[in-house]
Chain A
Amino acid sequence: MRAPILVPTVLRNLVRKPATNLFPKTEPVPVPENFRGQLKYNVDKCVGCRMCVTVCPAGVFVYLPDIRKVALWTGRCVYCAQCVDVCPTGALQMSDEFLLASYDNYDDKFIPLKEEKIEEIRKKLEEQKKAKEKAKAEKAKAEKKA
Chain B
Amino acid sequence: MDVMGSIVYPIAGLLGLYGFVSLASLLWEGIDRKLVARMQRRVGPPLIQPFYDFLKLMSKETIVPNTANYMFRAAPVLALATAIALLAYTPMGFTPILASKGDVIVFIYLLALISFFKIVGAISSGSPYAKIGAAREATIMVSREPAMMLAIFAIMWRLGKLGVDKPFSMGIFYQHNIWEIGTPMSFVGAIILLYVFCVWLASEIEVGFFNIPDAEEEIAEGLLVEYSGRYLALLKLTKALKAYIAASLVVAIFFPWGIAGHLTGLSADVVNLLFHTLKVFILLFVVGSVFRAVTGRLKITQAVDFLWKNVFLASLVGSLLLAMEVIM
Contact = CB atoms under 8 A, between A and B. Distances in A.
A20 B41 contact: yes
Interface stretch (A9-17, A35-43, A83-91): A9-17
Nearest to A5: B294
Contacts of B39: 10-11, 13-14
Contacts, number: 33
Contacts of A14: 35, 38-39
Contacts of A11: 39, 290
A19 B44 CA distance: 11
A137 to B, nearest CB: 74
B150 interface: no
A7 B293 CA distance: 8
Contact of A20 (B35, B43, B293, B294): B43
A6 B41 contact: no
A22 B43 contact: yes
A13 B37 CA distance: 10
Nearest to B310: A1
- A: interface residue count bin: 10 to 19
A13 B38 contact: yes
A18 B290 contact: no
User: Counting chain A CB atoms within 10 Å of each CB, which of B35, B44, B294 scores highest?
Assistant: B294
A6 B294 contact: yes
A18 B38 contact: yes
Contact of A16 (B37, B41, B43): B41
Interface in A92-125: none
B290 A7 contact: yes
A3 B295 contact: yes
A16 B37 CA distance: 12
Contacts of B35: 14
B34 to A, nearest CB: 10
A140 B144 CA distance: 106
A124 B214 CA distance: 68
A3 B37 CA distance: 18
A140 to B, nearest CB: 78
Given A7-B290, A10-B290, A18 B42 contact: yes
B69 interface: no
Nearest to B291: A3
Given A13-B38, A18-B38, A22-B43, 7 more contacts: A6-B293, A10-B39, A11-B290, A13-B40, A18-B37, A19-B41, A20-B43
16 contacts: A3-B294, A3-B295, A4-B294, A6-B294, A10-B290, A11-B290, A13-B39, A13-B41, A14-B35, A14-B39, A18-B38, A18-B41, A18-B43, A18-B44, A20-B41, A22-B43
Closest CB pairs A-B (n = 3): A6-B294, A10-B39, A19-B41
